[in-house]
Structure 1
Amino acid sequence: MKTLIAYTSRYGTSEKVAHLLAERLSGNVHVQNLVDEPGVDWGTIDHVIVGGSIRMGKVQDELTDWLKQNEGPLLERPLGLYLCAGTPTAAERQRELEGAYGEPLWAHAYFVEVVGSGYDFERMGFLDKAIVRMMAKQTVSSLNLDEARLDELVESAQASLRTRSENP
């Protein structure tokens, strides 16, 4: 069984999460940046985890486009969805999740959650730094991952893989 962890990341947080998940998952795991490499050989993929990040209230256009183009194959496989978002309230995180992943994928996925947030000032331009300082009240790089949610995603993924291998 091969797991694809596909992500987009503006400043590296969802990329870090993708690699953390790959380290924690057993089996054959491939991590793929969808901006650099949007193509997927679906014949070799049994399980998918997709992640993205929120910037200015929405995910990157490349992720939205990729999800639309690949909705069929995604709905045919076990699917986990994560998001990295720095919004302070549960209601805002819920709104961002719903905006990032459409209803068919949301309903199909075994996991849909915000797993943390982060700001990498080294990778940001002047304007983005100013916005983060003003909106998020952050002045230095930070990485705030929800370890319990990450563990939940890994456990859900492993359970999904076990179920699939037992019932091909």
Structure 2
Amino acid sequence: MGTLIAYSSRYGTSEKVASLLAERLSGDVHVQNIVEEPNVMWETVDHVIVGSSIRMGTIQDEMKEWLTLHEAHLLEHPLALYLCAGTPTESERIRELEEAYRESLREHAYFVEVVGSGYDFERMGFLDKAIVRMMAKQKESSLQLDDAKLNQLVEAAHTSERTRSENP
């Protein structure tokens, strides 16, 4: 298979990032929503990128379970971790990354970053819309991705693939 991009997304931002990464990466890339398709054929995976969204300060329960279940496999492969979070400060972003991904995964990964945020009001329920309006001061859908960080992830992934193939 090559590269597995495994993601969970409540309102589509992490899904959008996964799709953008798949377009930018070379080789065989498989994008997988772990909520809909939690199983992985690890024997076909060479490289893994994991992405999730933050809702109410945490990643989805399904992603937490998936990471725990597959941690040993993740630690055997080149790994990148990204989050989509609407936190405004660097300290909050670091805290969310630390709470989302275990230390063992963060230390193993060659990329660990918040790559942007987004709010899709069309996919939100009434309560979530009210919370976003109050907490994030957003009144309409928005998508704010950090293209520089996405490019950094793609370049790091390509370097990781070259390094792996040159030094098996």
Bucket of the pairwise TM-score, normalised by the shorter protein: over 0.9
Residue of structure 2 equivalent to 1:17: 17
Residue of structure 2 equivalent to 1:61: 61
Residue of structure 1 equivalent to 2:47: 47
Structure 1: distance between partners of 2:165 and 2:26: 14
Residue of structure 1 equivalent to 2:35: 35
1:96-151 CA-partner distances (Å, limit 9, x unpaired): 00000001000000000000000000000000000000000000000000000000
Equivalence map 1:15-164=2 (5 Å)? 15-164=15-164
Structure 1: distance between partners of 2:72 and 2:3: 17
Q: TM-score, normalised by structure 1?
A: 0.99
Aligned AA (1:4): L
Q: Secondary structure at the match of 2:87?
A: coil
Q: Secondary structure at the match of 1:6?
A: strand
Aligned AA (1:102): R
Q: TM-score, normalised by structure 2?
A: 0.99
Structure 1: distance between partners of 2:33 and 2:142: 22
What is the CA RMSD across the aligned residues, in angstroms?
0.5
Structure 2: distance between partners of 1:106 and 1:89: 20
Q: Deviation at 1:160?
A: 0.1
1:73-114 CA-partner distances (Å, limit 9, x unpaired): 000000000000001111001000000000100000000000
Q: Which runs of 4+ in 1 moved over 4 A?
A: none
Aligned AA (2:148): A
Structure 1: distance between partners of 2:150 and 2:88: 19
Equivalent pairs: percent with the same residue?
75
Aligned AA (1:76): E
Structure 1: distance between partners of 2:145 and 2:68: 28
1:27-63 CA-partner distances (Å, limit 9, x unpaired): 0000000000000000000000000000000000100
